[in-house]
Structure 1
């Protein structure tokens, strides 16, 4: 037997031994996928937490593994008619869902947003394009069609699992065609909407809740990265994805249609999923030193963009696959005068001469609701700096508002200010086919009442200690100003 046609076993630090299909192994053994070895899962966190050295490569393999485990559990219900192709598509989507991440993962999205505040570019969009590029460049599309009998709708299905409805660059290895009448409707959260997917009909809507769940936010992507991030950060993850995989089943809900539901006794476990999410965001992903580092990375990339054509690479998958975390070393090693500004920032990073944290405050979303654009936040910052300089009197204050960064970070349970468990359906032991809602009181009286907050941080980019000390003494003035809504609102 051809060695490339055999299943292979990987040993993972989180899930132990993982056996993957030959087709998934072919995808892994491509330059486009191997690129993920050089992209840190947690971006700037590695500069703060030395254990956070894991990469998108192992996370992607973990998601493929969990996706396969969940589908295999659901397939015990023969009435669902989940096919081998369905299962393989879901596992491929789990494997390829992060192909589009740029240097330092989500930091690159911040870079793209900083360049163009109106941009809605997301890594999922690039993942779809990179998937197309991967299978075309390596002849895997032919293998999928000829050996695995994939049809056009199967390729479309994979991309929808990654991106959602109407993925970009929908050119398929075969001529695309609609899998069903686009006028089909779906009951979604109590509202009639059009069934927007083409890869599978609405009878298999639950398959879209495995890798990128846009209904409840509960998916194997989160389950892997919560477990993996906690493992590498050295903290305990109280959510058990193993129990979720065992107790998940498909029920038909009158409002939502075919849904992945969970046993009622697992409600507290599901709250733990969202609790660990907020804990990681508050204490690690948005740690103040992490954000100082990531702001410096973004500024270095912006300064180098014109010379290195970094942002332009998103238009060309062959150029994009060369973008990894190594770009900082590329900037540091360069002697090009056009990269001097970027190089200076990277040199500061290497010496731990980081942007200085001035102050931070956690706000209720309603208290800063009037600050609904980057321009409004910047206006508050400018007014605060001018106030501090005026108060400084004769002191030497050479800095301007451009020397400061104000960062409002939204932290929630995944559904803004709503309880995400409200979107989830449960079932009871004696009525396994009947989906039900659970009120908070039916779960516990010790559950959170609020599900969102805004963490605001202010940084100083300069090196002047006088500037840092001065602005710290006036930080309370900023918090007062932030909560003042315009009189016409």
Structure 2
């Protein structure tokens, strides 16, 4: 009897074996579910095609008849005439690529994100959901105004996400989505436009207009919107690499595919989360630092900001003279808009466009960091208002012009458009991604990636944007005016 008792397996060991078998069974069920899900991939996500577009950045991009029908619409073809970098080719001559090929590149990266979502998320993503996301990636810029983001500061021109959301709800694109793709255009509009609709920094009128379009969005569409617009989403990952490739500014290169491989997706209480693994931390940091460096050397290069402010004033003055209207401008390409301004009969617009064409760019009269020590809080907030309020900015420009004209009494006076104040729009910096260890403690919630315990570099980059790169500049039409602008600054110590 005693011998039999010694041979018995301890109860704790039996219990542990049962738990292990249950865990293995659960894992097997999960694998089977994934296999079933993978068998229901949209063919747009995983397939080979004889029709491909050879892209120097994303490689071969497969396209089928449904994609071709969207590409061949008048609205999408217009993107061939809208340069991705606006007027950056005046500084980096190679930066002539367009939003047409960028949109295709975003769709291709969207496929990689979809595969990772399906492989790692614990719920099934339907074929319709997959196609909604891919269509949103392809069409996310379809309503974009000419001159890249130059005109979005003007009250007459809305944010490009809002314009694109409106574009998919009307015309030929809407018909193709309904008849060929068999999906609701409103879902595409939601994925494209959910970001500005929930961002309080956007004007209330624009957010209300967008909410009327998209209505109540599902958790899946809101999640897709977060992925598309994320700091490490397909939109930014494509344009960083593409802008670096074509401009020659090497700072934007990084390993996108490896970064996507290090992402995990999960759902909890009908909410989705994007999580980066430990191996992905340096890859995300590299992408974020590339983002910062590209702003430093390309997007906010002083000569690029000069031509940007010139183009903005040319359009602004044409609007004031009622030579342009919002509906018309959104159907034009870059070249068509330049030509229209050139023949507008508005003296300032014609002069500025002629200077842009001949690369007679305005010079820096004064450059000041937004956070310099001598700037008090009142001046800082006044500068913020200068960015938001076009009339206030023109008033400040007029003060400088009057100062110079009074000083040069008896000489030729300078015109209203010969002094321009430029304040770039500070990028929205919200990392909607979390970090979680590969083998986390059970019940332990993910930590936001920006937490200093995970990535001290992330907060440092955010601070660098504001303290080192974000600058206010006063541009003047001629070298001879630089000294006058400096004198104004020394005397007034304010704008």
Which bin holds the TM-score, normalised by the shorter protein? 0.7 to 0.9
Counterpart for residue 187 of structure 1: none
Alignment partner of 2:162 out of 125, 137, 142: 125
Residue in 2 aligned with 1:105?
148
Distance in 2, matches of 1:442 and 1:170, equals 35
1:219 aligned partner? 233
1:65-464 equivalences under 5 Å are 65-77=108-120, 79-110=122-153, 113=154, 116=155, 121-135=158-172, 139-144=175-180, 148-150=181-183, 154-164=184-194, 165=197, 168=209, 197-198=216-217, 200=218, 202=219, 205-213=222-230, 217-234=231-248, 235-252=250-267, 257-305=271-319, 309-313=323-327, 320-332=330-342, 334=343, 338-339=345-346, 341-364=348-371, 367=377, 368-371=379-382, 372-374=384-386, 392=407, 396=411, 398-399=413-414, 403-411=418-426, 414-415=428-429, 420-421=430-431, 423-431=432-440, 435-437=445-447, 439-443=451-455, 448=460, 450-453=463-466, 454-461=470-477, 463=478
CA distance in 2, matches of 1:35, 1:330: 16
> Could you tell me which residue of structure 1 aligns to residue 94 of structure 2?
51
* Cα-to-partner distance string for 1:59-115 (whole Å, 9 max, x where unaligned): 0001111112101221124732101111111111011110111211212324xx1xx
Deviations along 1:132-177, whole A, 9 cap, x unmatched? 334357x414423xxx443xxx4222111111157847899xxx9x
Aligned to 1:132, the other structure's residue is in SS state coil
Aligned length: 420
Q: State the Cα deviation string for residues 174-226 of structure 1 (Å, max 9, x = none).
A: xx9xxxxxxxxxxxxxxxxxxx743x2x366432322124xxx4321111111
Find the residue that maps to 2:312 and give its secondary structure.
helix
Q: Which of 468, 479, 486 does residue 482 from structure 2 map onto? A: 468
Question: Is residue 166–residue 189 contact of structure 2 (8 Å, CA) maintained in 1?
Answer: no
Alpha-carbon offset, residue 240 of structure 1: 2.7
The verdict on how the C-alpha distance between 1:21 and 1:170 changes in structure 2, with shifts beyond 3 A counting, is farther
Query: In 2 relative to 1, CA 40–445 (structure 1 residues): closer, same or farther, beyond 3 Å?
Result: closer
| Displacement of 1:352 | 2.4
- Range moving further from structure 2, 266-275 or 286-295: 266-275
Distance 1:436 1:355, change over 3 A: same
Distance in 2 between residues matched to 1:69 and 1:399, nearest whole Å: 55
Which residue in the other structure is 1:32 paired with? 75
Indicate how the Cα distance of structure 1 residues 331 and 447 shifts in structure 2: closer, same or farther if over 3 A, else same: closer
**DSSP 3-state at the match of 1:399:** coil
Q: TM-score, normalised by structure 1?
A: 0.75
Match of 2:16 in 1: none
Work out the CA distance in 1 between the residues paired with 2:326 and 2:220: 40
Unaligned stretches of 5+ residues in structure 2: 1-47, 198-206
Q: CA RMSD in A?
A: 3.5
Measured at CA, do residues 82 and 348 of structure 1 come closer, stay the same or move farther in structure 2, by a change above 3 Å? same
Once the two structures are TM-superposed, the CA of residue 279 in structure 1 deviates from its matched residue by: 2.1
Aligned to 1:188: none
* Change in 2 beyond 3 A, CA 1:481/1:304: closer
Distance apart, 1:269 and its partner CA: 2.3
Query: CA 1:238–1:86 in 2, change beyond 3 Å: closer, same or farther?
Result: same
Distance 1:59 1:30, change over 3 A: same
Higher-Rg member (1/2): 2
Unpaired segments of 5 or more residues in structure 1?
177-195, 483-489
- Give the 3-state SS of the residue equivalent to 2:424 in structure 1: strand
Kept after mapping to 1: 8 A contact 2:275/2:434:
yes
Structure 2: distance between partners of 1:436 and 1:80: 18
Q: Separation in 1 of the partners of 2:159 and 2:371? A: 27
Higher strand share: 1
1:31–1:17 Cα change, 3 Å? same
What is the rounded CA distance, in whole Å, between the counterparts of 1:393 and 1:149 in structure 2?
Answer: 68
Distance 1:377 1:204 in 2: 39
1:136, 1:328 → 2: CA distance?
A: 27
Asked if structure 2 preserves the Cα contact closer than 8 Å seen for 1:94 and 1:211, the reply is yes
1:481 is aligned to: 494
Aligned to 1:456, what secondary structure does the other structure show? strand
Distance 1:62 1:342 in 2: 35
Cα distance in 2 for residues equivalent to 1:379 and 1:385:
10
